[in-house]
A = this chain, B = another copy of it.
């Protein structure tokens, strides 16, 4: 790898001049010199050493993307195309803006902070943070931070969040079910935190508004630990009772459930109507095709990156909380009663 020093020696120039040409500060360089340097740079395929540049400028051009993992709930991070699509959106924007992306998975906030510090990242995108995780990171890492899908408890958020109007999406979904004549509607999820909690709230609101009473028997808890999933789905199939419809917290859960219903010869939507949330390929390909709530993870990722990079350039985002809209997608898994 050739260095600026070497180049300037070869060309009989100073490093300053070479560096200036590289950076386009050519107001005060003679055209001949510019040409000479440029040609030589081409020839030797000069590539700057970013470590040195970072050290000199105290910046890194690195955007850290941190996925917080959870031992107990590991599956969806892998299996759901949601994450990969989001990732593609982020990567695209990061690259387009001349930044680089470092991907890091961890369940340990201290580790995450350490990573950001060692690499002196210019900014951070955090996914899967719960409660005060986001705040804990932003307390120590004094760089722009954008979270995706994080609902934090304290109001004075120290970071920007890109989310979805989960509450309203679920609300609209349940309203749709009700409009189809359903009243005994269950909610299937594997937890009651963050995003899923909001979806649950939307579900509750729609029920309440329609004067439908909610009982805990309508919350179907899916256990997503590796060797619990199957048994848990079994249990839910036997618990359907008089419910005529279920809103699942994700398309993946919906398809897993429908798959298992099929094995029990319980027909969808004739015997039970199923709705999902996300609108991913699982729901589009399964038959009956899944009626669901649409969101666009790639766009979410792109937006997160755009907002973060904007902040790096001094643009404050319009709001600390940016919510994307959802859209109802009607397909074949809901029956009109």
Contact = CB atoms under 8 A, between A and B. Distances in A.
Interface of A: 1, 47-52, 54-55, 60, 65, 77-81, 83-85, 87-88, 91-92, 95, 100-106, 114-115, 117-120, 255-256, 259, 262-263, 281-282, 285-287, 298
Give this chain's copy count: 2
Nearest to A111: B95
Nearest to A289: B259
Decide if the interface of chain A is mainly helix, strand, loop or mixed. Answer: helix
A287 B265 CA distance: 12
Most chain-B CB neighbours within 10 Å: which of A80, A83, A88, A256? A88
Nearest to A259: B285
B119 A50 contact: yes
A84 B69 CA distance: 14
B55 A52 contact: yes
Nearest to A100: B102
Contact of A104 (B51, B101, B106, B263): B101
Nearest to A60: B51
Given A81-B79, A286-B285, A88 B105 contact: yes
Nearest to A77: B88
A102 B101 contact: yes
Contacts of A115: 100
A106 B91 CA distance: 10
Contact of A78 (B51, B55, B81, B286): B81
A85 B87 CA distance: 13
Nearest 10 A/B pairs, CB to CB:
A51-B54, A47-B117, A84-B84, A262-B287, A51-B51, A259-B285, A51-B55, A103-B103, A50-B118, A79-B281
B119 A100 contact: yes
A26 to B, nearest CB: 22
A137 to B, nearest CB: 14
A87 B67 CA distance: 12
15 contacts: A47-B114, A49-B55, A49-B120, A50-B51, A50-B119, A51-B54, A65-B103, A79-B81, A79-B85, A95-B104, A101-B102, A103-B103, A259-B286, A286-B286, A287-B287
